[in-house]
Every structure is written in structure tokens, then in C-alpha cells.
Structure 1
């Protein structure tokens, strides 16, 4: 091929070859069979053309055709007009307004329906939009479900529940000036305490398990080193409440001041309350006043079954029992040689 080096080269396009199917059919002495796709399209076209050319069927004819072609489908007879079909009845509407605790069985929700919808709206990682909830409520209305809450009612209930028993997020400012939020720990603990499924698994007192340690409440830090002022301050024996740093009386007549409560396994394997206490010693001052001195250096341990009288009962009966007034403590012994006045 000669190429002119002084001018631009021109590429010649190849002519398009067109196959004459009629000529090919004449040469082979017959017609070519169309492909399966062409056959299917032709069949659909012919069927559609025939259907358009026919007279429209009446409702009764359509029902009879469905009955003949599908015996498993129930068809309603005697329908001459499509408008004769009954409309779907809406469910009974609920009264206006929101009342928390209206039904005690579903407290704090007003009723069962609102409870179910509120839980559905707050499923973890499966939140519903307002449009989706409106669609669900509309479907339930068409199905005749009664007492459905509206979307505005659900939002109002959510606001009331958050105010009544929600967990507040508290804003804090870090040492570098950054802002962060943390959920209120006290509110979380209060909700756990109010949950009967959780409450029975919570432990509030350390356990003296000896050398065995498999749980947090077996630790020595909680049993011996934790300040009694932030540990569990009270136990209930019968109808009496015994508090730490309040004088109490044992069954043998000794007057004590509990400073710590803990549990210990009994013979039957059940946990029994025990106490760590200081002894109170009655004294008479130079002026003749009778009172007590707390012997902090003298610590004893006892079982809660040995407790006899709590502080309020002792205040009401100390005069009849000829005991000093327990509301007056004149001092405390830190050791056998050190005394500190109150």
C-alpha cells in the first residue's frame, strides 16, 4: 500500500455487508424458521390483538371464568356491580388525651396498644419513620383493629415516659475544654433496681467467703477497706432497721455501734447477715452526767440474729431501762491510751 508522506493518511471504511434473507431463502428452496424469542413475541402480540378486538366481559363472566379455571379460589357469587363490595370497616377510635397509668396492668403506658406500638417504635437498630408508622396505623385501621393510638399520641406518650422514667444525658466539659455527654448513672441504677428481673441478681453487701474469691463481693477491698460511710448503711431485722453509726443493743445487753454490714455463709448454705461494731462503754462524768464513750479500738463481730433493739426503740425506752441517754456521747477511745472528746 502506497502512503503519501506529504499529506494526512486516510483510512478507508469497509462497506457494511447486509444479508438478504429473502435471497438466502430462495437459494435454499424454503423459508427460514424464526427464532424462539421471535416466536414468543409474535404469539403475545397476536393474543393481545385478539383480546382487544373482543367485547369486554361483564363482572359475572369474569367470576364464572375464575371459578372454572381455579377451583381452589373462593369466589363471591351474585355480584352484579363491583361497587357492591362492602368497604373495609375502620376500628373503634380511642378517646382523646393521654393518661399515664390509666391501666395498671400496663403501667407506665396507658394501655396495651400504646405499649406495643411504643416498643415497636424503639426497637434497637430498627427505628420506624413517621411515614412508616402512619402506614402501619392505616393498615390496622383497614383491618378493623380497635383502640389504635395516633402518631401524635405515641409521640406524647414518649415525651411523658422520658420525663417520668427516662435517663438524662448530662453535659460535661473536659479538662481540655471539649464537651461530652454521659448518661446519669444514678438514673440507670434506679431503673435497674426497679426492674424485678434484674433486682434479684444485684448484691449490696460484701461477703466474707474466707480464702475463696470468685465474685466482686468476695473482695477484701469491699469487705474491709471500703469506707463504711459509702457502703450499704442499713439492714432490716424483723420490723426494725439497724443503721451504721447508730447505737443498738444486743440480746445479751451490750450496747454497740455498728460500722459495717456483710454476709457470711451459714450452716445451711444461705447467706446470714453479720456486723462489725464498736463497743459503747457507759461512764459518769465529774458533774454526775451519765453517758457513753465509744471504744473504736475495740471491734467485735456478731450475727444479725443477736440484735435486739434499734436506736429509735432505745431512745424511747432508755429511761425505763435505767440506761444513759444514747443521744449524748461524750467521747471516743481511739486506743487504750488515747481519748477524743465529742
Structure 2
């Protein structure tokens, strides 16, 4: 028979129940609609930005207020005829040498990728020599080529020559600059083109061959569009470097931008302002080329990402202007209400 102690409930069963457990944090939690949500404060970013802007403003103010720059002289000579003529020659040399350099570099890259060991070796030797010697040394060697080869002839190899020309009359300063810079750019362009071709997935080439596509169509439709994604950024850097590298031909007395301003300050002794004229022109042209490079890269980056291309700075500015106009038309009350719906991280409710 059960005793009274056996039928009494246990202490665990007679314990008064506590409050019912609530839902876990973040699961169905009710947010007060009248609460204002604010973005997370980042004081470190604001402080660093303020310090950087302060230093930048100090540098700009120092350059503007420094009378040694002689900004009035810079303004007078910035659009002078001699300076513009030198700028035109600089742009012409940049376009010609880089264009011819990429044509020759493409040939050298094809030789490097060829199955012929002789062509591969010759291409490697060319690239090795021109990348291993300074550009100034190469230009001076070409400028003094008359000391090595007084005459150049055209005829049968190891046989008689039909046409003979004196190198002194053939190689002037401008032609020497074109030849020297072209051969130098070709060595770098060859590696750029070769790297772009090697960046294309090998499986796509095998798939194209399995479909029976011709070599020209594979090159035009598959290899070039994908290789350009790797070629364009480096080629843009080469273009900017070629623009600035043309200043080295001033040692050959070629009237480029730098040599033109040098002629002026050698006569007027206004060294700093004339150098600033050349500096500003180089910055302007480099900025224009960088903008063009940006849009060319966007053109060849189509389809590379699933989310599409990010908006351009001009598109961002237009979108910001539209938001400002919409906020101004809606009025301050609507803008305040819209601020309540801003998305913030959990725990940022105030």
C-alpha cells in the first residue's frame, strides 16, 4: 500500500512556474514605429577625412600663395605658340610610337607563342635586350648610329647592294626618336599582348575547335574580346607612360613640350613657371587619357560580372541630383518621414 509520502507531489512539481519564456531575440521582435533609426556613427572616418582635407587645403594654399611659382607667367605662356607646337609634337610622337609599337609587339607576341623554337628564341632575345637597357642609352645609340654604320644599303644578302644611303642624311633627331621609342614600346607591348592571350581559358579554345570554327573567327570572336580585358588596363598605363616618356627626347634637341619650355627658360631664366607650364599640360593630357581608358575598360568588361557594371561617376552625379530634386519637391516633412525607413544594422535603434 502506498504511504502518504508516496502520493505527495515532488518539490519539482509543486514549484510555482516562472514567467513564460519570450521569443528569442530578433525573432518576431516588435519595433516601435515611432522610434527613429540612425546610421552607425564612425568618428574615426570623420576625423581622418577632416585631417586629410586640412592637409590638402594647406598644400593647395601654399602653392597658390607662393610667389615663386609666378602664376601670372604660367598663365601667359600656357597657350603660347611655341608651347602648343611642342605639345602637338608630343601627342604625335606618343600616338605614332605606341601604335607602331603595338603592331610590332603583336608580331613578337605571336612569335613567343609559336611552336617554332627559332621564332620563340628570337622574340625572347629581342624583348630581353630592349627591356634590359635604359631608354636614354638606346636613343643615344640610334642617334650616333652613323659611327657604327656610316652607310646603309639595300641589295642581295651577302651580295651586291643596289641602293646606298648615308646614315647622317637619313637619321635626323625626330626619326631617331620615332625608331627608338617604337622599338622600346614594342618590347613591352609584346609581353602585354602575350599575357592577354594567355589569360583566355584554354577550354574555350578547345570548345571552339570542336565546333569547327575557323582560326580567324576564334581569334576575332573569342580570344580578342576576352584578352582585351587584360590588355586594356596595362595598355592604358603604357599610353600614359609613353606620353611622359617622350620628354626624354629633349636630349636629342627634338622640339617636344619639355624642350620647348626649356628653350624659353634658358633665355628668360624663369625656370619654375615654365616647368609648371609643362607639368600642368602633362596633367591635363594624362587626365583625359585616364578618362578614355576608364570607358574603354567598361566596354570590354560587359558580361564579366553577374550584377552588371557599376554606375559611372556621371551616372552617380545624375542620380544624386535627381534625389536632391525629389527631396526638394517633396518638402521637409516627407523627407523626415523617409528618413525613418532608412536601413540600419540591428541594435542601432535609438
Q: TM-score range by the shorter chain?
A: under 0.3
From the CA coordinates, give the structure whose radius of gyration is larger. 1
Q: Which has the higher contact order (CA 8 A, sep 6+)?
A: 2
Normalized against structure 2, the TM-score is what?
A: 0.21
Which one has the bigger helix percentage?
2
Which one has the bigger strand percentage?
1
